[in-house]
Amino acid sequence: MKKPEVTLEISELQFLVIYEFLYNTKLGDRNKFESAISDLMQEFEESGVDIVANMIRKRYGKVDIGVLATQEDGMEFHLN
């Protein structure tokens, strides 16, 4: 049985932010969610999505992800 596919329509900037966030987030392999992200990134790599990401980076600039950890809020991510 074929797995169901999901189609997601997003802008180039939205794609780049999601891609950068996932690309730069190091996950373990403890559960199915971490494995799903790992599988997705491997599929991206194999299909040449990095070429698309590079084209978008040239147009809009690099995405910098800042992380701040606080006891009140936990982890905060800032996109520059």
Does position 9 have pLDDT exceeding 90, yes or no?
A: yes
pLDDT of residue 25: 83
Supply 6's token pair: 């999901």
Phi, psi of 7, rounded to the nearest 5 degrees: -105, 130
Note if the pTM is more than 0.85: no
Q: Computed over its alpha carbons, how large is the radius of gyration of the chain?
A: 15
pLDDT category at 76 given cuts 50, 70, 90 is: confident
Does position 77 have pLDDT exceeding 90, yes or no?
A: no
H or E segment and range at residue 70:
strand 65-70
In order, the DSSP letters of 2-59 are: PPP-------HHHHHHHHHHHHH----SSSHHHHHHHHHHHHHHHHTHHHHHHHHHHH
How many alpha carbons lie under 13 Å from residue 7 in its C-beta half-sphere? 1
